[in-house]
Amino acid sequence: MGSALETLCGQAFGAGQVELLGVYMQRSWLILLGACFFLLPLYLYATEILKLLGIEPDIAELAGRFTIQVIPQMFSLALNFPTQKFLQAQSNVGFLAWIGFVTFVIHIVLLYFFIYIFKWGLTGAAVASVMICLEIWYFMTLIVLTGHLEDPIIAVGSLSICMNINGWEGMLFIGINAAISVRVSNELGSGHPRATKYSVIVTCTESLLIGIFSAGVILATREDFAVIFTDSNEMKKAVADLAYLLGITMILNSIQPVISGVAVGGGWQALVAYINLFCYYAVGLPLGFFLGYKTSMHVKGIWLGMIFGTFLQTLILICIICKTNWNKEVEQASERMKQWGAGNDSMLPTSDTR
């Protein structure tokens, strides 16, 4: 939902209609705060929901308590995300970077005090948490499925370690996702179709090279990188056995967030949501379930299903971008600002060839 604001603010800023940015942000605050109340039951009844999904009662109880304790975080994000998009659309990212750095340092200190000094354990982690959705749910669902396999401790542990490593790389590409989204929306709002196209090509190429390099590092250190998380030789061996799948995932995830950012900048959120639902939930999860439970592949099978879903999504998005008429996208950006800007079209751009 926040990505819709990213499209509107980015295109309005590119068109020079800065007076609309604050209006868009305030509307987004109201809509997201209202959405939080509709999501509350998922937080309040998380324990019961997890038990229905077959999770062990002790784990479900613990997860349910933690979920209730992080409810304030959900409401804070309803204000935080629109504000971030408001600033990103204007390329005011230096301010955001400093806030993120200071928050990161404070977060580490708070976690240390709450968990190790005050001995609050999981509650302490929830208190410090107060400080991209279908896709995140998809990866978490895979963790839940893995918990039903034989020897679930090793299966969940090894997959979680790999997902953490993948998440670290993902943080970089989430940043690139925001950057290309702002660039695309600004250029479309300014009426520069060719500049938009070249920005997409350059960013995708750079991201792919980063992904290949990251995968190479993982494969070169596959026997050792798990030591960051565990000293168990059995767990290290299980992680090393999954390293090549992690490498493939990192390459795919170097392209997919960038293309998603392009989609956000162009205002294609609905289309991408349908593609995600089909690729992840209609293809990836069923295939992963079949390979994990009906064959001897187990955790590898679940992950292969995930990889195929991500690959299919990336392939479809690449085809869409290759066939995109950027001149037409400039026209649609102008129409979008007319629709959401109360008909103020005095400053709307005209398309050029830049």
- pLDDT, tens digit, 9 for 90 and up, residues 57-72: 877 888 888 888 888 8
Q: Given a cut of 90, is residue 341 above it in pLDDT?
A: no
Q: How much is the mean pLDDT over the chain?
A: 77
CA end-to-end distance (rounded Å), the chain: 30
Return the pLDDT at 120. 56
- Say what percent of the chain tops pLDDT 90: 3
Q: Given a cut of 50, is residue 347 above it in pLDDT?
A: no
Residue 336 placed within a domain: yes
Return the pLDDT at 348. 46
Overall residue count recorded for the chain in this entry: 354
- pLDDT, tens digit, 9 for 90 and up, residues 137-178: 555 555 555 545 555 667 667 777 887 888 788 888 878 887
Lowest mean pLDDT among 41-55, 217-231, 244-258, 327-341: 327-341
Q: Given a cut of 90, is residue 213 above it in pLDDT?
A: yes
| Residue among 100, 72, 103, 70 nearest 84 (CA) | 100
Residue 211 placed within a domain: yes
Output the CA angle 275-279-282, nearest 5 degrees.
Answer: 115
Return the pLDDT at 209. 92
Per-residue pLDDT band at 99 (split at 50, 70, 90): low
* Tokens 């209730």 sit on residue: 68
- pLDDT, tens digit, 9 for 90 and up, residues 284-336: 878 887 887 777 777 778 778 888 888 888 888 888 888 888 888 888 777 76
How many domains are contained in the chain? 1
Of residues 165 and 94, more confidence is placed in 165
Structural domain including 194 reads: 134-341
Beta carbons of 16 and 345 less than 8 angstroms apart? no
Q: Given a cut of 70, is residue 123 above it in pLDDT?
A: no
- Positive or negative: CA dihedral 128, 4, 282, 171: negative
pTM: 0.62
Return the pLDDT at 38. 92
Residue 308 placed within a domain: yes
Average pLDDT on 203-229 reads 88
Residue 128 placed within a domain: no
Q: How far apart are CA 307 and CA 288, in angstroms?
A: 9
Per-residue pLDDT band at 118 (split at 50, 70, 90): low
| Tokens read off for 167 | 């998440």
Residue 154 placed within a domain: yes
Per-residue pLDDT band at 127 (split at 50, 70, 90): very low
Return the pLDDT at 69. 83
Residue 323 placed within a domain: yes
Beta carbons of 317 and 275 less than 8 angstroms apart? yes
Return the pLDDT at 96. 64
Residue 249 placed within a domain: yes
Burial 23-42, CB ≥16 within 10 A → b, else e:
bbbeebbeebeeeeeeeeee
Residue 309 placed within a domain: yes
